Structure 1
Amino acid sequence: MKYILFFFLFFPLLVLSQSNFDKGQSLFEVGKMDQAEIIFETILKSEPSNLKAIEYLGDIAGYKKSWDNALIFYKKLKTLKPSEANFHYKYGGALAMKALSVNKFRALGMIDEIKGSFEKAIELNPRHIGSRWALIELYIQLPGFVGGSEKKAFQYSNELLKLSPIDGFLSKGHIDEYFKRYSIAEQQYKKAIEIGNSVKGYQMLANLYKNKMNEPEKAEVVLQIIKKINSTPKKNI
């Protein structure tokens, strides 16, 4: 009898909570962040440990570039579920973005925690793609005297190549582009395109032609290919 009573007392609340969550999720997906934020904050008041609501609030804070707030939410996620790789990844990403907004001396003191967050994500999920991309960016952007290393960037790029050949070639191209080896970067992007007709690869190639190699005609050809891909109706499987 007590289980029946529980069902009738709390099932309507559960349904309402899920309905609110779906509404908040829909608002988030169409970019209505302020409205979505209100809904997820309401959910969190009654369910303080709702991981998805916390994550959405962190994502909304990140969208608004409110990195301090994003860090609060992502840190809470790490505390509630320390085994989830993506929570460490998002925390590291928010911390990296915050580091860009503070003075250099303060930013230097954040590097180890940023790096550690991405490394932890990989430890928890050895197939984590985003963390490897983040570490590649970190190692090519940092000066050598504070830990920057092209060699380490290529190490993570090689790992990506094994996990996802497209990401592997794109990341190699990105490293080559950063160090102004434009012709090599061009070939790496083309390899990624050959493997999977990668839109991201076309975009990176177009940007390379337009912004680095001063070849706007080539860039325009690639942009037209992207336009064609995006306008082609996707087949239902």
Structure 2
Amino acid sequence: MNRVVFLLLFIPSMLWSQANFEKAEQLLESGKTEQARVLFESILKENPSHLKAIEYLGDIAGQNKSWDKALFYYKKLKQLQPDEANYYYKYGGALGMKAKEVNKFKALGMIDEIKSSFEKAIILDPKHKESRWALVLLYVQLPGIIGGSEAKAVAYSNELMRLSPLEGYLSKGYIEEYFGRNKKAELNYIKAFELTNSKLAFQKLYNLYLYKMKNSDKAKQLKEQFEK
């Protein structure tokens, strides 16, 4: 009898939570972020371990550049499911964005945790491309005196190449472009573009021609080729 009573009480609550979750997702997809946030928070009050609701709240906080809130939610995800690579990636990303907004001395203290978050994601998921991209960007943009390293960036770019030639050529193009080696960047972006005719590869090559190499003729020819 007690089991029947429990089910009668539990099932309506479960259905309510699912219906609200679906509604919150729809609100988020339609751009009604604040309304979605309120619903996700109400779901979390009913079920504090609802992983997807926590993740959405972290993502919303990130969109609003509320990095401390985002870190709170992503840290909670890591605690609830410590074997999920994407949670470490999102935590590292939010921490990296926060580091850009604090003073330099405080940011220095965050670098090791940012790196280790991305590295942990790769350990958990050896095919995690986003974390490798994040480490490419990090090692390229950091000054050498505080841990920046083109060699390490290239190493992660090589790993991307093994996982996806498109991502590999794009990351190599990025490294070359960042250091002003525009002809080498061009060669890598061309290879990326020829592989799949992807919009991203086109945009990278087009911007390189137009803004870095100041070659509007090449930019125009590329655009005509892409539109065909």
What residue number does 1:196 align with? 196
8 Å Cα contact 1:136-1:153 kept in structure 2:
yes
Q: Secondary structure at the match of 1:65?
A: coil
Give the distance between the partners of 1:8 and 1:225, measured in 2 at CA.
63
* Alpha-carbon displacement from aligned partner over 1:10-65 (angstroms, at most 9, x marks no partner): 22222221111111112222322111101100100101111100000000000001
Give the distance between the partners of 2:223 and 2:70, measured in 1 at CA.
34
**Distance change in 2, residues 1:88/1:13 (3 Å):** same
Q: Displacement of 1:3 after TM fit?
A: 4.8
Give the distance between the partners of 2:44 and 2:222, measured in 1 at CA.
46
Q: Secondary structure at the match of 1:214?
A: coil
**Which one-letter code corresponds to 2:207 in the other structure?**
N
Q: Displacement of 1:194 after TM fit?
A: 1.4
Give the distance between the partners of 1:175 and 1:169, measured in 2 at CA.
10
**Which one-letter code corresponds to 1:63 in the other structure?**
Q
Q: Secondary structure at the match of 1:53?
A: helix
Tell me the TM-score normalized by structure 2. 0.94
Q: Secondary structure at the match of 2:101?
A: coil
**Distance change in 2, residues 1:6/1:212 (3 Å):** same
Q: Which moved more, 1:34-43 or 1:197-206?
A: 197-206
Q: How does 1:4-153 map to 2 (within 5 A)?
A: 4-153=4-153
Q: Displacement of 1:220 after TM fit?
A: 4.1
8 Å Cα contact 1:139-1:149 kept in structure 2:
yes
8 Å Cα contact 1:83-1:124 kept in structure 2:
yes
**Which one-letter code corresponds to 2:80 in the other structure?**
L
C-alpha root-mean-square deviation of aligned residues, in Å? 1.6
**Distance change in 2, residues 1:4/1:224 (3 Å):** farther
% of aligned pairs identical? 59
User: In the comparison of the two structures, how many residue pairs are matched?
Assistant: 228
The answer on 1:160 being equivalent to 2:160 is: yes
Question: 5+ residue gaps in structure 2?
Answer: none
Q: Which moved more, 1:66-75 or 1:3-12?
A: 3-12
What residue number does 1:235 align with? none
What residue number does 2:181 align with? 181
Give the distance between the partners of 1:36 and 1:73, measured in 2 at CA.
16
Q: Which moved more, 1:105-114 or 1:30-39?
A: 30-39
8 Å Cα contact 1:203-1:223 kept in structure 2:
no
Give the distance between the partners of 1:166 and 1:106, measured in 2 at CA.
36
* Alpha-carbon displacement from aligned partner over 1:141-186 (angstroms, at most 9, x marks no partner): 0111111110000000000000011100000000000011111111
Q: Secondary structure at the match of 2:127?
A: coil
**Distance change in 2, residues 1:120/1:211 (3 Å):** same
Tell me the TM-score normalized by structure 1. 0.91
The answer on 1:208 being equivalent to 2:208 is: yes
**Which one-letter code corresponds to 1:78 in the other structure?**
K
